[in-house]
Structure formats: structure tokens, C-alpha cells
């Protein structure tokens, strides 16, 4: 979260110290928890959630499930449930939720779960007990013999919440370690159970034991007391994985039924505590003509009337109040109350801060070029770092060596893999399972905070970058790329626009797939969890040598290796992927026409040939996870539009027209493609689009009123920056084509949301963009608690039912903090679109100057 000045911290302390003293004097009289209408236990400054959230299975354990504790606005504990090891990892088994029943009259919540592989069910029941919640594990059948000594009730505590804090275990005391260094015990079956590579595993030993634990007794914001009917052990999960948490655990007894374990969990309630206000605003600032609205987020119990002020920063450090209308109450959203301060009338360029009571923001600008260059870190840093199959250097720093020179082996058939990859009943190639597929070790970007090449992401990025190139021709050149030497040098120009070079890099991988196997593949991913979870230099993840099964493990001979660490290629045919790749290749052919005519021609040849092939037979409908393309008709429509833009061939115009009725039904997801086709279609095509445009404009306007930020805020397990970006780009496309129907204001609301105008904090979700931005994120350097400039994180995750969350202290929440390449490309588009609109608003006199700075 954004750091607050000292005086703000002091004000917060003053607001909390008196209630703490009062509570201490009333020993044993903690405020009673109540079960509120939202279905969780609540007392002043303390909440206990019992299975309000459940992990959705998309990417295994995501630290949002079971019993959870929120204190003073921060979620500090999660995953309270029966687990099968002391420190379970992301890929370890977790119980399946069967049902959750809430008894509002008694304040009890009963949840039924099961481990289906063991045909074993259990219940977790919670009930109010004064200022605590009693959580019981109830068994109708004993713990299965296979799970005896393994099944236990765990509750996980966020490590960064307890750094520099102490604990008490009965009469013993200790402090939480900053870095894990516990004695480990070998467990031969540990890796097999979690799906990791072959070889022995290990479990940490307990840090402390007792039947009564007090965590952080010295800190009202972190103090939690737990009493148990059985011994509780404290473990540090970071001994096994950097994303591990502190875990309290009690083993379930063997051979017993009924209530076999009870924990009394007492969070620390502080009557009168108020969460400090957050002033959400654009960390980039605003152009003079822009609408300028700051949203002040308040604790729902905060009844104070404090002044909201805009201050102009002087060269001498002076803070001059600027007259604005008073802040107005917006209302309630989720668990907070909101005010809004509209300072749109302030147009004078300069540096400003916002203030509400004792809370003051970081400085931001009002300037004609407020958005200019906002996309530079993404193109200059994020995309070069994401380049696979390249040595990437930045000054004195090597980001990674030439990775995955040994790509790739044919994946085994009938195999469901990690990270939503799977192979069908045949390879759909000439290669046998495990056989090396030549030619794939070129181009492409690491998909996200991990290192796989997801084809669907590749062609999405190519198309997005190509659109930016065709609309605005940004000639910025700060990266030298040498594909012959497989080397990227950042901050060194080489005479070719960087945007076009990135398009070329992605195109090389798409073309390589068609050259190697004749069709688009799902992607290339690590063979096991141990490699998948690799952090650090990507070139150290494999030995770079093609696997040769005739060699012994570890043996190297003739440039080959007996170590089967090569990534796997998943190759089952999927027409949706083929069509998506056709669209990417057709778009790339236009962008590359001047800098690489041969590659441009090859890309278009593959696209037209593959279209003809797909049209000649029934579609291949294989689907799995999110790696086999989008909806078939939508991908086909995209391909037809891009081929039409590249060739002007009337056959593709006919395909666009025939597919349009289906696209109209899913207009929100396909409208940018539909709009892109307008210049190449007859006038009746645009006319036929008008009803859908009007409906979308009405829906967008209605959605803008649903929350104080005026953008769609999603509630799934992956936060919604991508949805916000997509909506803003949709509006830009429609405003450009239908200005009489679609206003442009939603474009700026989307940009402002990404750079600070959002719930929970005022931090920019684009690392390195804006005064205060994400500096702890889920990139492949997350173990360093660091960031990659220009990366875009998912943003605000709604922890159900009502907590907006984005952690700046713990990078391992991938649903909040993981960079992915499509959002990076969309951010480049949106930043350029916003500057384009600002230029139009500013008028012709200033447009040329600002535009030159924006696109160079």
C-alpha cells in the first residue's frame, strides 16, 4: 500500500491507542463477535470468515479459502481447514467443498467437505463464543488409516504481517523469523504427493508447540489468541517454498468420531478503531481539460467531517490550497463509505497533492503531457525481460540467459498437465511422445510470472501491438535485438522501432509452430512442478541441451543430454487456436512489411493457407482449460477480420458478414474486431452494428454507476485489471467509429483505475508508472520482493463478500499481483489511446508537441 507520512501514522496511532488501553483495563471483556448479514463474524476492527471463499480449482491453492481472519482492514490469516501436511504447497491436495450452511439464529456455520480419493468426509463447524469463534472438526467416520498422522487442522498466517513480531506458546516465547532456517526432516513421499519431480522431499519441524498460542501480543493489529483441545504446532512453510506461510496445526486423532478437535480463535477487537482514509486518484496526474475526480475511501464507521483539499506544490515547498467544491458523499460500496472531490475546474499546470484530514497523497501533475510516455516502461523493460530464447541484458544487470535452447519434447498422450495444459488421445504430429520437436526454440514471450509459452497469449499480444503500431506508429527505439546472436540489450537503440521488433519476436514463435508440426499448438510448458515453480534466471531451468534417452541421467555427449528437463509441447489440434494464430500472423504481416518483408510474406502465406485448410473440414473442437483458444466462432471472426485487413479479399468480407450475427450476440467480447472491419465492408455493415453499439453504450453507462470508480470491477479469483483495460479499449474503438453514440470518458476512467483510482489503495497497478506504483509483484523475480517496470498486475481482488484487496507486502498472491503479457500489450494501447484523445481535446496548437513526445 502507499506509504503514509509520519504525521498520518501518528494520527492513526492516536486513534487506536486509547481504545487499546481501555480494552486492557477491562481484562477478559473483549467485544462480542456477531454473525452479520453478510455471513461472517464481526466485531470492531476484527472479522472472522468461515468458508465465505473457496478456491476455484483454476490454479490450485490460492490462499483464499476456509477460515480467514481480517484485522484492522488487513486479511492476516486464511486456509483454516483440514489439510494433509504441515505446510501444504500450491499443488497439494485440498478438500472439496460440498455445502455451507449458516444458522443466523444461533450464529453457527457448518461446512461439509471431503477428500474424494479417500472417500472421507468431515465437517467444520463454527459458533460464536463471546469475543471468539469456536471452530470444531466433526467426523462421522474416523480419519482413514492412510491419513492417520497426516490429516490435521491448519490455519495459515501471512508472514509479512508477523515479521518483527513475537509469539507465546503456553509459557514459552519466541519471535517470528524473517527468513526460514528450520531443521528439516526427510519425507520420501512428499514430492510424489504434491506432483513435484522425483526424489526425496522434506518437511520442516515445528518452531513451537502448545495448547494456547498468542500471536503478536504486543500489536493490537496482529494479536490473535488460539486455544485448542489438542496440541498446536507452529511451522514456517517458507522452508519448502518461498510462497509458504506461517502455519498453526493440530493433528486429528486416529480412531475417533464426533467432535475430535476444537479451536477457540479470538481475534483482537479494538472498539473505536477507524481505518485510515485512502484518497484514490491518478498517480499519473491529469491533463488540463480532463475530468478530475478523487475518491476518498472511509471506514464505514468513520462519521467525522474532515476537510478535503487540493494543494498546489510550490518550488519552495509551500502548499497552497486551491479552491474546489466541497467533497460529496457517493455512498457505500463493499465494506467502505465513499466521498468524491471533483476538481475538474482546476486547469493550471503544476504539481499537486490531495489531502483529507491528516492523510495526504504523493504528488501528481496537471500537465498537457500527463499521459505521454506512460507506456514506455512496458515496451522498454517489461517486454524485453519477457523475451524467451534470448539473452537479456540491462546495463550491468543480466535479467536472464538464453533460455530453453532445448525446446521442446512432444507431450505424452491422454495426459492432463499442470497450468491448464493437456494432451488428447493422439499427438496430431509425426512425433512420438517424448520425442524432440525441432525448430521451436525461437521467439515468444514468457506468458506470466512463470516461464511457459502460451500460444493464446502470444497471438493476443501480437495483435494488440500491431494495432498500436498501425494507429500511432510509435517509433521509439531503446532496445537492440540481435536474433542471430540471440541477444537483447536494453536501453540501446538499434535503428528499428521497438514495437515492431517485439511483434517480430512473437511472430517467430507462431511461425515456428506451423513449420514444426503444421498447426498451432497449445504452448510449451515445464514437464513437472519442480521446474514450473523455478524462480530466477530462466536459462538455469534447463541445461539447454536436447534430451537423448540413450544417455544416462546427467550425461552430456555431442551437444545432447541424458537429463529430461526439456519443456513439453502440447500439440492436440484445436481449430480455435489455429484461427487465433491466423489472426495474429495476418496482423503481423502488415506490421512487418517494411522491416522484414520475407517474414511478413511468410506470415501471411501461413495465415491464408491455414484458413483454407480449416474451411475445408469440420473443426477440431478439442478444448482444455484456457490454453486451447477462445470460442470457436469468435476466433474465426478475428481471423476473417485480420485477413480482410491484410488482403482486401472479398472472400474474407463474406466470412465477416456471415459471422456477424453470432458476434452481435457476444458484442462486448468481439466489438473491437467488428469495428476494425468497418473500413473494408459495405456501409450496410456499419449501419447494422448501430443497435449493438447503442446497447453497449447503455450498458457501459449503467455499469459506471455501480461503484464510485466507474469501471467494471470483477469478483472472480483473478482480479480485474484485464477487464478494465478491455472495456476502456472497447470504448475507444466505439468512440472512434461511433462518436455520436459512445462518449470517450470511460477510456480515461479505465486508465485512471489502472494508475491509482481504485479501491483499497491509491497505488498504480503498472509498475514504474505513476508517482507510487507496484514495487512488490508476482513476476519471475518475486522471490526478491521486487518488480519489473511496466508490468501490469491483476489489481483489486474482491475477497468475498466485501473486502477489496491488493497486497504490496506479499508478492505471491498471483490473483492480485501476477504480470501477464496480454495486459502489458493492452496497457500500451490504452496509454496511447488516452494520449490521442487528450491531444484531440487540447486542440491543434498543442497536439503536435504532445504527440511527438508520446510516440517517439
pLDDT at position 471: 98
For residue 30, being part of any structural domain is answered with: yes
Q: Are residues 609 and 564 in the same domain?
A: yes
- Taking the chain (856 residues) in runs of 10, the rounded mean pLDDT of each run is 35 39 48 96 98 78 94 98 94 93 96 97 97 98 97 98 98 97 80 50 93 98 98 96 96 98 98 97 97 98 96 98 97 98 98 98 97 97 98 97 98 96 97 98 96 98 98 98 98 98 98 98 95 93 96 95 97 98 98 98 98 98 96 98 98 98 96 98 98 98 96 95 98 98 98 98 98 97 97 98 97 96 98 96 55 51
Supply 390's cell numbers.
534470448
Give the global pTM.
0.94
pLDDT at position 676: 98
Supply 183's cell numbers.
531443521
The dihedral built from the CA positions of residue 648, 652, 658 and 664, taken in this order, carries a sign that is negative
CA distances from 195 to 254, 529, 754 (A): 26, 6, 36
Q: Are residues 216 and 325 in the same domain?
A: no
Supply 644's cell numbers.
480482410
For residue 84, being part of any structural domain is answered with: yes
Q: Are residues 334 and 258 in the same domain?
A: no
Q: Are residues 146 and 27 in the same domain?
A: yes
Supply 414's cell numbers.
491422454
Specify the number of domains making up the chain: 3
Q: Are residues 298 and 257 in the same domain?
A: no
DSSP string, 306-347: --EEEEEEPTTS-EEEE--PPPEEEEEETTEEEEEEE-TT--
Specify the length of the chain in residues: 856
Run of H or E including 751: helix 745-754
Q: Are residues 438 and 328 in the same domain?
A: no
For residue 690, being part of any structural domain is answered with: no
For residue 430, being part of any structural domain is answered with: yes
- Report how far residue 515's alpha carbon sits from residue 512's, in angstroms, rounded to the nearest whole number: 5
Q: Are residues 436 and 359 in the same domain?
A: no
Q: Which residues contact 779 (CB under 8 A, 6 or more apart)?
A: 385, 449, 786, 787, 788, 791, 811, 818, 819
User: What is the signed CA dihedral for 79, 82, 87, 91, rounded to 10 degrees?
Assistant: -80
Give me the residue label for grid cell 479451536. 263
Q: Are residues 156 and 73 in the same domain?
A: yes
pLDDT at position 849: 41
Q: Are residues 441 and 579 in the same domain?
A: yes
Residue span of the structural domain in which 340 resides: 293-366
The dihedral built from the CA positions of residue 666, 667, 668 and 671, taken in this order, carries a sign that is positive
pLDDT at position 704: 95
For residue 534, being part of any structural domain is answered with: yes
pLDDT at position 841: 82
For residue 564, being part of any structural domain is answered with: yes
Strand ranges inside 558-659, DSSP E: 560-561, 568-570
pLDDT at position 28: 52
User: 133: domain CATH number?
Assistant: 2.70.98
Phi, psi torsion values for 210, nearest 5 degrees: 170, 175
For residue 448, being part of any structural domain is answered with: yes
For residue 716, being part of any structural domain is answered with: no
CA distances from 354 to 148, 228, 306, 348 (A): 58, 48, 13, 15
Considering 612, 629, 646, which residue would you say is the last residue of a domain?
629
pLDDT at position 26: 40
CB 715 within 8 A of CB 798: yes
pLDDT at position 201: 80
Q: Are residues 54 and 167 in the same domain?
A: yes
CB 338 within 8 A of CB 784: no
Q: Are residues 50 and 167 in the same domain?
A: yes
The CA angle 822-828-832, to the nearest 5 degrees, is 145
User: 345: domain CATH number?
Assistant: 2.60.40.10
CB 421 within 8 A of CB 455: no
Q: Which residues contact 651 (CB under 8 A, 6 or more apart)?
A: none
- Report how far residue 478's alpha carbon sits from residue 467's, in angstroms, rounded to the nearest whole number: 20
DSSP string, 263-283: EEEEE---TT--PPPEEE--S
SS3 call for 184: strand
Q: Are residues 334 and 395 in the same domain?
A: no
Amino acid at each position: 500500500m502507499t506509504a503514509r507520512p509520519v504525521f498520518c501514522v501518528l494520527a492513526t496511532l492516536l486513534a487506536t491507542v486509547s481504545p487499546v488501553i481501555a480494552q486492557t483495563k477491562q481484562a477478559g471483556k473483549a467485544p462480542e463477535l456477531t454473525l452479520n448479514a453478510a455471513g461472517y463474524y464481526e466485531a470492531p476492527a476484527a472479522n472472522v470468515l468461515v468458508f465465505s471463499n473457496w478456491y476455484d480449482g483454476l490454479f490450485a491453492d490460492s490462499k483464499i479459502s476456509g477460515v480467514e481472519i481480517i484485522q484492522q482492514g488487513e486479511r492476516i490469516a486464511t486456509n483454516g481447514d483440514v489439510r494433509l501436511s504441515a505446510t501444504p504447497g500450491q499443488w497439494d491436495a485440498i478438500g472439496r467443498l460440498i455445502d455451507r450452511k449458516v444458522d443466523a439464529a444461533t450464529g453457527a456455520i457448518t461446512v461439509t467437505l471431503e477428500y474424494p480419493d479417500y472417500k472421507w468426509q468431515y465437517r467444520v463447524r463454527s459458533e460464536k463464543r463471546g469475543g471468539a469463534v469456536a471452530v470444531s472438526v466433526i467426523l462421522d467416520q474416523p480419519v482413514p488409516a492412510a491419513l492417520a498422522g497426516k490429516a490435521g487442522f491448519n490455519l495459515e498466517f501471512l508472514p509479512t504481517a508477523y515479521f518483527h513480531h513475537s509469539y507465546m506458546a503456553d509459557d514459552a516465547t519466541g519471535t517470528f523469523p524473517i527468513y526460514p532456517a528450520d531443521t528439516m526432516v526427510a519425507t520420501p513421499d512428499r514430492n510424489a504427493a504434491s506432483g513435484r519431480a522425483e526424489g526425496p522431499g522434506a518437511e520442516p519441524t515445528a518452531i513451537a508447540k502448545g495448547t494456547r498460542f498468542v500471536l503478536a501480543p504486543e500489536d493490537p493489529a496482529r494479536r490473535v489468541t488460539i486455544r485448542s483441545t489438542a496440541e498446536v504446532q507452529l511451522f514456517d512453510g517458507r522452508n519448502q517454498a518461498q510462497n509458504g506461510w506461517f502455519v498453526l496445526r493440530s493433528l486429528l486423532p486416529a480412531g475417533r468420531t464426533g467432535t475430535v478437535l476444537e479451536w477457540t480463535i479470538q481475534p483482537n477487537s479494538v472498539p473505536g478503531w477507524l481505518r485510515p482514509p485512502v484518497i484514490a486518484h491518478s498517480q499519473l496526474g491529469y491533463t488540463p481539460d480532463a475530468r478530475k475526480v478523487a475518491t476518498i475511501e472511509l471506514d464505514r464507521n468513520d462519521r467525522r467531517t474532515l476537510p478535503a483539499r487540493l494543494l498546489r506544490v510550490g518550488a519552495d515547498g509551500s502548499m497552497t490550497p486551491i479552491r474546489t467544491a466541497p467533497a460529496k458523499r457517493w455512498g457505500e460500496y463493499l465494506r467502505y463509505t465513499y466521498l468524491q472531490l471533483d476538481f475538474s475546474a482546476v486547469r493550471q499546470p503544476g504539481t499537486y497533492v490531495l489531502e483529507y484530514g491528516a492523510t495526504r497523497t504523493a504528488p501528481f501533475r496537471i500537465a498537457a503531457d500527463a499521459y505521454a510516455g506512460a507506456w514506455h516502461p512496458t515496451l522498454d523493460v517489461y517486454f524485453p525481460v519477457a523475451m524467451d530464447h534470448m539473452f537479456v541484458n540491462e546495463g550491468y544487470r543480466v535479467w536472464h540467459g538464453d533460455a530453453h535452447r532445448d525446446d521442446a519434447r512432444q507431450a505424452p498422450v491422454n495426459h492432463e498437465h499442470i497450468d491448464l495444459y493437456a494432451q488428447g488421445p493422439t499427438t496430431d504430429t509425426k512425433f512420438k511422445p517424448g520425442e524432440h520437436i525441432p525448430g521451436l526454440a525461437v521467439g515468444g514471450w514468457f506468458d506470466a510470472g512463470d516461464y511457459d509459452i502460451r500460444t493464446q497469449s502470444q497471438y493476443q499480444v501480437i495483435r494488440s501491438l500491431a494495432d498500436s503500431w498501425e494507429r500511432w506508429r510509435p517509433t521509439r527505439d531503446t532496445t537492440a535485438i540481435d536474433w542471430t546472436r540471440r541477444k537483447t540489450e536494453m536501453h540501446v537503440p538499434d535503428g528499428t522501432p521497438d514495437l515492431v521488433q517485439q511483434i517480430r519476436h512473437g511472430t517467430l514463435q507462431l511461425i515456428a509452430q506451423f513449420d514444426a508440426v503444421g498447426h498451432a499448438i497449445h504452448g510449451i510448458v515445464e514437464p513437472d512442478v519442480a521446474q514450473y515453480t523455478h524462480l530466477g534466471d530462466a536459462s538455469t531451468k534447463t541445461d539447454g541441451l536436447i534430451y537423448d534417452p540413450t544417455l544416462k541421467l546427467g550425461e552430456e555427449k555431442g551437444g545432447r543430454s541424458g537429463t529430461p528437463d526439456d519443456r513439453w509441447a502440447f500439440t492436440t489440434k484445436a481449430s480455435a487456436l489455429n484461427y487465433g494464430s491466423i489472426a495474429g500472423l495476418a496482423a503481423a504481416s502488415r506490421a512487418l512489411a517494411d522491416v522484414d518483408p520475407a517474414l511478413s510474406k511468410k506470415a501471411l502465406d501461413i495465415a491464408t493457407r491455414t484458413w483454407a485448410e480449416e474451411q475445408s473440414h469440420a473443426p477440431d473442437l478439442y478444448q482444455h482449460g484456457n490454453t486451447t483458444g477462445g470460442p470457436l466462432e469468435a476466433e474465426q471472426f478475428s481471423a476473417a477480420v485480420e485477413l480482410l485487413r491484410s488482403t482486401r479479399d472479398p472472400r474474407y468480407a463474406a466470412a465477416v458478414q456471415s459471422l456477424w450475427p453470432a458476434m452481435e450476440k457476444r458484442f462486448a467480447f468481439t466489438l473491437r474486431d467488428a469495428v476494425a472491419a468497418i473500413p473494408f465492408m459495405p456501409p450496410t455493415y456499419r449501419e447494422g452494428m448501430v443497435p449493438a453499439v447503442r446497447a453497449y453504450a447503455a450498458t457501459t453507462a449503467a455499469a459506471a454507476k455501480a461503484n464510485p470508480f466507474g469501471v467494471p470491477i470483477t469478483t472472480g479469483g483473478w482480479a480485474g485489471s484485464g477487464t478494465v483495460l478491455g472495456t476502456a479499449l472497447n470504448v475507444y474503438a466505439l468512440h472512434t467509429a461511433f462518436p455520436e453514440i459512445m462518449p470517450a470518458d470511460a477510456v480515461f476512467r479505465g486508465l485512471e483505475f489502472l494508475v491509482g483510482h481504485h479501491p483499497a489503495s491509491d497505488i498504480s497497478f503498472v509498475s514504474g508508472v505513476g508517482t507510487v506504483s507496484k514495487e512488490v509483484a508476482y513476476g519471475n523475480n518475486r522471490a526478491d520482493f521486487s518488480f519489473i517496470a511496466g508490468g501490469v498486475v491483476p489489481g483489486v481482488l474482491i475477497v468475498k463478500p466485501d473486502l477489496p484487496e491488493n497486497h504490496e507486502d506479499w508478492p505471491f498472491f498471483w490473483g492480485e499481483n501476477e504480470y501477464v503479457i496480454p495486459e502489458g500489450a493492452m496497457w500500451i494501447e490504452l496509454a496511447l489511446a488516452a494520449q490521442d484523445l487528450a491531444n484531440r481535446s487540447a486542440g491543434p496548437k498543442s497536439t503536435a508537441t504532445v504527440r511527438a513526445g508520446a510516440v517517439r
